[in-house]
Structure 1
Amino acid sequence: MAEPIPPVEAEEIDYESLGGGSLASNLLAGAFAGIMEHTVMYPIDAIKTRMQIVNPSPSAMYSGIVHAAGQISSTEGVRSLWRGIGSVVLGAGPAHAIYFATYEAVKHNLGGNIGDEHHPFVSGFAGACATTASDALMNPFDVVKQRMQVHGSTYTSILDCARTVYRKEGLSAFYVSYPTTLAMTIPFTAIQFAAYDSLSKVLNPRKKYDPLSHCVAGGLAGAFGAALTTPLDVIKTLLQTRGTSRDERIRHCKGLMDAATIIREREGFKGFLRGLQPRVVTTMPSTAICWTAYEMAKFYLIRSNREG
């Protein structure tokens, strides 16, 4: 009688050996990660935008995150903290799909997935390429989002906001902050990806799929990058919300240097740190969520493709 054949053990998948994955896997994983990142921490992002406004009305001056949350909720309702989230949902999915697909493609082509070597500069450069591509798509959605987040916003929907901005200020209003956005996001993303890659080597030396190490590495990398690039984020907010300002000079601000001059003259160098706390508080968990969601989606998508 023939001996029974022992069951075949499931093959343990070496996460790093999967490389960057297919384009479809990276697109889907990136879209999932982007939506998760932006929606979960959206109320804190709204508070950050409010706190970065130059020359706000007396009723929109906040001393911190808790004070802002209480003030906004009591005077405008809790739902006001979620105004404009539809713009993020519409833009974040495709923008992050492009973001992570570009990152994986550039990193792979530059040899960043080869062997056990450490490639922080390759990761940083790939991240810079990724954000340049994704921000071109996301910038108009971000403008609409911030216009709806400011105190006293009267737009009834994201479509109403987009139409009004286009009618009154033209197409350029959606991209006036794009150079500043790149000046901020390129170093932020390069720092974040290089730090994430380095931290992952320390926290996950076996290079297996490990949600905890992905989460911790992503959060720390994001917080570090956010703190260093806050001054540029303040400038970006001024440019993206200029059309809502009562200040004539701000309304006609033309670009990065002009906005920086206004902030320095009005508030000094401390003005460039407005919103630092909510920016870090927002970015740390959102990048932790983003990386964890991305790595999880990529892992299961690639494993499903291999098994299929």
Structure 2
Amino acid sequence: MVYFPSASQLKSSFGSAMPNYWVSSAEEKAHKAVDFVEEEVARVVKPHHAVPMYSAEYFKYCTLGGIFACGPTHATVTPLDLVKCRMQVDSSLYKSNIDAFRTIVRTEGASALFTGFGATLIGYAFQGAGKYGLYEVFKYKYAQLVGEDLAAKYKTGLFLAASASAEFFADILLCPWEAVKVKTQTTIPPFSNSVFTAFPKALAADGLGGLYRGLVPLWARQIPYTMVKFATFENTVVAIYNQLPGEKEDYSALAQTGVSFLGGYIAGIFCAVVSHPADVMVSKVNTDRKAGESMGQAMSRIYGKIGFGGLWNGLGTRIVMVGTLTGLQWLLYDSFKAYVGLPTSGGAKK
């Protein structure tokens, strides 16, 4: 509060030379000016308004946070994804990851490392909206369904059920863009140099059904991935805070998002291992499924060709890629939540 002398104090200081009406007027104006400044300062520096938990606004912000978390992060690691997909389709194409980068730059140019960037950005932005937004919705709804006590007792089961449900729908949004991405990345020279020409070209060639031919293996890859991602993250964050003094609320938003990044990176490592065989199969099916062949026939034929060992091609690259992007996703997601006035994810001590 800014201090300003009263009329009596002014009068005693300046004596009878200062008329009463002038003193009163000056005091009134000064206090009005001070009040105005204080109100403006409070308006400018006030924190973001508190968003009611589990309100429509809460779920809207979680959905927006998922878009910001998934689209840009997946697009950023496009070079790693490009190499991974090509090595999954043809393990003899490059001698190593380093050889792959060098070969691509030498033969196709440095910009070729970002082949599939547009489809990745759009597809995973859609997927992020479904993954994070619907996860929060299902987690809340399932907790309401089973009751508070059971939800608290079997919280890992709640995380698994909510994340599986969310990913089921998120993959429907992702699938056509994933098909375009894989086709673009694994065709040499690339199927198209822009997502705006690649999507209509793929749609004309394969039809909408063709763009969804990889949905079943995508579910097989992404649903276990997301279940591990959310359940591992939630429990890892709790474990981290259990090792720290004080409560989660005692730490700054910056420290809390740092914990989110660490928990996300650890979760990403587990995700990569669990989902990698299905990830290989998604790439293979999108590039090697024959006309008139059922999904089961295609997967059986492809497995007969590559064997169990072939399902693990590119795992090292994918661990680095998935660990990094999963950590960054949780960092961006919780940073966005903190910015709009939501609490960061997880972390209540046992």
TM-score range, shorter chain: 0.7 to 0.9
State the alpha-carbon separation in 1 of the partners of residues 191 and 135 from structure 2.
38
- Structure 2 residue runs without a partner (length 5+): 5-41, 344-350
Superposed CA RMSD = 3.0
Structure 1 position 86, deviation (Å): 1.1
- Provide the residue aligned with 1:184 in structure 2: 221
State the alpha-carbon separation in 2 of the partners of residues 18 and 273 from structure 1.
42
Rg: which structure is higher?
2
Within a 5 Å distance, the mapping from 1:72-111 to structure 2 comes to 72-111=104-143
- Provide the residue aligned with 2:176 in structure 1: 140
- Provide the residue aligned with 1:212 in structure 2: 258
Change beyond 3 A, Cα 1:114–1:66: farther
Contact 2:185–2:191, Cα closer than 8 Å, also in 1: no
- Provide the residue aligned with 2:88 in structure 1: 52
* 1:141-191 deviation per Cα after TM superposition (whole angstroms, max 9, x unaligned): 111111111132242422322222222222211100101111121111111
Q: Match for 2:157: what amino acid?
A: F
* 1:7-43 deviation per Cα after TM superposition (whole angstroms, max 9, x unaligned): x9x9999x9x956871221121111111232122111
Contact 1:176–1:254, Cα closer than 8 Å, also in 2: no
- Provide the residue aligned with 1:291 in structure 2: 330
2:248 is paired with a residue whose SS is: coil
Q: Match for 1:44: what amino acid?
A: L
Within a 5 Å distance, the mapping from 1:1-308 to structure 2 comes to 22-54=58-90, 61-111=93-143, 117=152, 119-150=155-186, 151-205=188-242, 206-208=247-249, 209=253, 210-242=256-288, 250-252=289-291, 254-302=293-341
Contact 2:290–2:298, Cα closer than 8 Å, also in 1: no
Change beyond 3 A, Cα 1:77–1:265: same
Answer 1 or 2: higher relative contact order, Cα 8 Å, separation at least 6: 1
- Structure 1 residue runs without a partner (length 5+): 243-249
Question: What is the aligned-residue identity percentage?
Answer: 24
Output the TM-score relative to the length of structure 1.
0.83
Contact 1:176–1:255, Cα closer than 8 Å, also in 2: no
Larger mean CA deviation between 203-212 and 286-295 belongs to: 203-212
- Aligned pairs, number: 285
Contact 1:38–1:92, Cα closer than 8 Å, also in 2: yes
1:170 is paired with a residue whose SS is: helix
Change beyond 3 A, Cα 1:255–1:291: farther
Contact 2:78–2:116, Cα closer than 8 Å, also in 1: no
Q: Match for 1:234: what amino acid?
A: V
State the alpha-carbon separation in 1 of the partners of residues 123 and 306 from structure 2.
33
Contact 1:19–1:108, Cα closer than 8 Å, also in 2: yes
Larger mean CA deviation between 259-268 and 127-136 belongs to: 259-268
State the alpha-carbon separation in 1 of the partners of residues 232 and 294 from structure 2.
30
Higher helix share: 2
Change beyond 3 A, Cα 1:256–1:187: farther
- Provide the residue aligned with 2:18 in structure 1: none
Structure 1 position 253, deviation (Å): 7.3
State the alpha-carbon separation in 2 of the partners of residues 303 and 184 from structure 1.
30
Contact 1:239–1:253, Cα closer than 8 Å, also in 2: no
